[in-house]
Structure 1
Amino acid sequence: MISDQLNSAFTAVGLSLRSGFSFSASDNAPPGLSGHPARSVLLVGNAGAGYWPHFQRWLSEQPAPVQNPLDTWCRQMIGGIAEQVGARAVSPADKPYLPFQQWAMRAEGLRASPLGVLMHPVYGVWHAYRGALLFDVEISIQVPRSLNHPCDLCVSKPCKKHCPVAAHAGEGFAYADCLDHVRGHDGADCRERGCLDRNACPHGTAFRYPTEVQRFHMDAFAG
């Protein structure tokens, strides 16, 4: 099966074949490799930070600084594997933006946490979608769907209480307040340890990103 081939290929670089589905006739499917609307999409990402040593090894081998290095690495890894199986690779950073979060919710039955990150019943908030493969044919993949949303069972909501500027305490994300704090003199703890609200979530802690990974992502956020 092509999913077995893809699982092996992505595992070799610390990524994983996350989920997927076939588009219906009523979907506004993006074009596949042929230029016609794709028939299927398979999402690629990570659970935990198994990709990190592979990415760091690649980064150390680059002859010059790379702009947006993680996006670049993901595009190279996913794009190379897509070529092997006759698929078109797309990235969440591509413009016009594709509905990766909606695709993930449809495929895995996930919903957003109060942080905006999709809550996974096993991985918690420590996972991401790094790209997708668009196929001109229908591809089946068996993905367990989430029956329970852990946030519904969480009474204390610690993910809304640890941010120094209460960025997640209201409805939505106070982006500007968060960014100003992280960039400011008092934001050193957030820059070094990662988002304090995210780290306070009790779900999926076995998959929590190491400090150096969180620092990398926070540096990218702070610019």
Structure 2
Amino acid sequence: MLGPSAPGFWPAYQQSPEAQDGQPDPMDRWSERVIGGWARDLDATALFPFGGPPWLPFFSWAQRTGRIHASPIMLLVHDTAGLFVSFRGALALREHIELPEPPPSPCATCADKPCTSTCPVSAFDGTGYNVDACKSWLHSTSGADCMTSGCRARRACPVSQSHPRQPEQSAYHMQVFRGPACAD
């Protein structure tokens, strides 16, 4: 499982040919180039969370690592990145690699669980994610804070707060997630 390493990822990506060429899907194309190169070097197979259907089961693969868990709002949470965990791809290796004993979920010791109460449109109910409510909020002027700084629920996670993710990176991903405004 491969995800961005903060804080160096975002400046490096911004300097990439894909980020600067104005063509569609720059982050996906960057991921294919970089992770595809690693796969060739390691005689592995590159796998990606985009390009489906069919979609590969990245959510369950992430949980199998032991370092990533389902949070109370049913988004993935990482032991050091919090709710800012994300994946650009994975490498399927030919050999098995022993991993160290994983740490417990950071949610197990989080008494207040602020991720459950900070979403301004209550898009997370603990069993699912109301994507339509979230996107409607992001298209409103009231959603500007989430658009420029990232999802409030993700930011509220105490572990996320210690992860050095740049606001510009969050804003980019919120823009891609939100998509263009719909014409009435």
Q: TM-score, normalised by structure 2?
A: 0.86
How many residues of Structure 1 are paired with residues of Structure 2 in the alignment? 178
Q: Amino acid of the residue matched to residue 163 of structure 1?
A: C
The answer as to 2:2 corresponding to 1:44 is yes
Q: SS of 1:152's equivalent? A: helix
Q: Is the 8 A contact 2:114 2:153 kept in 1?
A: yes
- Structure 2 residue 105 is matched with structure 1 residue 149: yes
Q: Is 1:213 aligned to residue 169 of structure 2?
A: yes
- 1:7-64 Cα offsets, whole Å, 9 max, x none, are xxxxxxxxxxxxxxxxxxxxxxxxxxxxxxxxxxxx22224342111110004774x3
Conserved in 1, the CA contact under 8 Å of 2:18 and 2:26?
no
CA distance in 2, matches of 1:71, 1:117: 21
CA shift in 2, pair 1:103/1:82, >3 Å:
same
Seen in structure 2, the aligned counterparts of structure 1 residues 156 and 101 have a Cα distance that, compared at 3 Å, is: same
Cα distance in 1 between the residues matched to 2:34 and 2:115:
33
Q: For the residues of structure 2 that align with 1:166 and 1:61, how far apart are their CA atoms?
A: 33
Secondary structure of 1:128 counterpart: coil
1:205 Cα deviation from its structure 2 partner? 2.3
C-alpha distance 212-113 of structure 1, shift in aligned 2 (>3 A): same
Residue 190 (structure 1) aligns with = 146
In structure 2, the residue matched to 1:111 is: 69
Change in 2 beyond 3 A, CA 1:218/1:59? farther
Aligned partner of 1:106: which letter?
R
Alpha-carbon shift at residue 141 of structure 1 (Å): 4.2
The 3 A distance-change label for structure 1 pair 216 and 109 is closer
CA contact (8 A) 1:107 1:143 kept: no
Cα 1:198/1:132, change in 2 over 3 Å: same
Match of 1:123 among 81, 85, 88: 81
Q: Is this contact kept in 1: 2:18–2:29, CA < 8 A? A: no
1:28 aligned partner: none
C-alpha displacement of 1:168: 1.7
- Letter of the structure 2 residue corresponding to residue 122 of structure 1: T
- How far the C-alpha of 1:81 sits from its partner, in A, is 1.4
* Unaligned residue ranges in structure 2 (runs of 5+): 180-184
**How much does 1:133 deviate?**
1.5
Residue 157 of structure 2 corresponds to 201
Distance 2:156 2:105 in 1: 17
AA aligned opposite 2:159? H
Matched, 1:87 2:44: yes
Deviation (angstroms), 1:202 = 0.9
CA drift of 1:206 comes to 2.3
State the TM-score, normalized to the length of structure 1: 0.72
**Distance of 1:194 and 1:102 partners within structure 2:** 24
Residue of structure 2 in register with 1:168 after alignment:
124
Partner SS state of residue 89, structure 1:
strand
RMSD: 2.0
8 Å Cα contact 2:44/2:91 also seen in 1: yes
Give the conservation status (yes or no) of the 8 Å contact 1:46–1:128: yes
| Stretches (4+) displaced over 3 A | 59-62
Instruction: Specify which structure has the higher proportion of strand.
Output: 1
Q: Is residue 136 of structure 2 the alignment partner of residue 177 of structure 1?
A: no
SS at match of 1:129: coil
